[in-house]
Structure 1
């Protein structure tokens, strides 16, 4: 299960200027002159001096905080981020429930017959609190037994899949035999607001443990790309 960076468009400044266009205004990075001077010296002396990271002016940081606090979401939509994702089928399904601002393309087992990776979870206890879904981790002995049961059952399913293909059954039907633990790969593109909405819901303490892990991996990719906007949009995620 993983999230990997592919591409992105825009920055914190993109969010600011999407909002400031309402007043026909444009902001610049707060340290634009320092960046330009470092680049000039590098060109002049053919050296690799450190280029400062772009920084927003305080007034623009305050604007982003205001937009997030009052749910003015459209300026955050003028961004785009593409990730390559991998997760077992039930977790993929939970991700795909987030539709607004997203587009996804996943691998199709109508056309491929390679064996899928099987996800092995850290087993958790059942709980009577169905809103939570599960309790703490099981003890070592139960972990061993559960893993053995799971490994046997998934191998039976994989063997059935291979047997169906060997008997000439088409890929799009043979895939019905695959287990829920089969890992699916997909390309996921969305704007900053859509990813923040996903993160806020799926990194929450009452979300399933596996998707919490995936949401946090997504957040670790996005945070350095849009540090001010991401912090403003996700500040309430764990409260």
Structure 2
């Protein structure tokens, strides 16, 4: 399984990867001119030690690449991890790259995320961010309908601007932004992915990005089972 559907129209696809748990162990041993050719109990103990003690540089030698299709509100939360990837305390550059599709060059049919009537959440009682319980269905149905009408209005103005010869990079200003699905490639080290997962799998993370984090974990954990078991257990990449 290399693709997982998320939020109906969205998905996460594993494009490529380099390395394994053995890569992590060998990267740590190179200073002693040692190398393993098959993952052993000794290598597993070493990976556990590295994660427990916060020696994270060996985890940056294993790389993963994903294609993600998600609403803009998710993409912009995710993007913070790329911006901050060179600023983890004591770790240096954690190896991340991001390339996103742009409506400057293409005019593919816009797709929007619209919560169903039973998916709207209330504001939290004791926090300025996040969300609370599901609101009453009747109120949710009202806002689903209003969002759909608002989206259709923006879409019609976007299409009219294109038809009148307005360039795509300006016509896109009519598209309602935060629910618009965008597509990007995310290339990141095992350390970077674990840092993302440690924060976005938490119960207080935005639900929509939690769903994408779960998809990332399902795709990457079989490739690096020991590393992720340790990095997500110890939280040493936070």
Shorter chain as normaliser: what TM range?
Answer: 0.7 to 0.9
2:59 maps to: 76
Q: Is the 8 A contact 2:17 2:65 kept in 1?
A: yes
Partner of residue 233 from structure 1, selected from 222, 231, 235: 231
Number of paired residues?
211
Looking at structure 2, the residues matched to 131 and 188 of structure 1 have their Cα atoms a distance apart, in angstroms, of 30
Counterpart secondary structure, 2:17: strand
Q: Which residue is equivalent to 1:87?
A: 70
In the TM superposition, residue 146 of structure 1 has moved relative to its aligned partner by 1.7
SS of structure 2 residue aligned to 1:86: strand
Q: Is the 8 A contact 1:124 1:135 kept in 2?
A: yes
Secondary structure of the residue that 1:98 maps to in structure 2?
A: helix
Kindly report which structure 2 residues correspond to 1:98-113, keeping only aligned pairs within 5 A, or say none.
98-99=81-82, 100=85, 101-113=95-107
* Superimposed CA distance per residue, residues 184-231 of structure 1 (whole angstroms, 9 cap, x where no aligned partner): 001111110011111111111121111111111111110001000011
Instruction: Detail structure 1 runs of 4+ shifted over 3 Å in the superposition.
Output: none
Aligned: 1:140 with 2:137? yes
**Comparing 182-191 and 56-65, the one that deviates more:** 56-65
CA contact (8 A) 2:52 2:234 kept: no
Structure-to-structure mapping, 1:160-199, within 5 angstroms: 160-179=157-176, 180-199=178-197
Normalised to the residue count of structure 1, the TM-score between the two structures is 0.84
d(CA) in 2 for partners of 1:196, 1:87: 20
Cα distance change of structure 1 residues 131 and 198 upon mapping to structure 2, 3 Å threshold? farther
Distance in 1, matches of 2:172 and 2:121, equals 28
Mapped pair 1:58 → 2:51: no
Residue by residue over 1:32-85, the C-alpha shift from the partner in whole angstroms, topping out at 9 and shown as x without a partner, is xxxxxxxxxxxxxxxxxxxxxxxx322211111111111111100111111010
State the secondary structure of the residue aligned to 2:81. Answer: coil
Q: How much is the aligned-residue C-alpha RMSD, in angstroms?
A: 1.3
C-alpha deviation, 1:143, in angstroms: 2.3
- SS state of the match for residue 142, structure 1? helix
Quick one: distance in 2 between partners of 1:186 and 1:129?
34
How far residue 131 of structure 1 moved from its aligned partner, in angstroms, is 4.9
Report the TM-score when normalising by structure 2.
Answer: 0.85
CA contact (8 A) 1:87 1:183 kept: yes
Structure 1: state its 5+ residue gaps: 30-55
Q: Do the aligned partners of 1:117 and 1:183 also contact (CA within 8 Å) in 2?
A: yes
Structure 2 residues not aligned, in runs of 5+: 1-9, 86-94
The answer to whether structure 1 residue 124 and structure 2 residue 121 are counterparts is yes
Q: Aligned pair in 2 of structure 1 residues 168, 87: CA closer, same or farther (>3 Å)? A: same
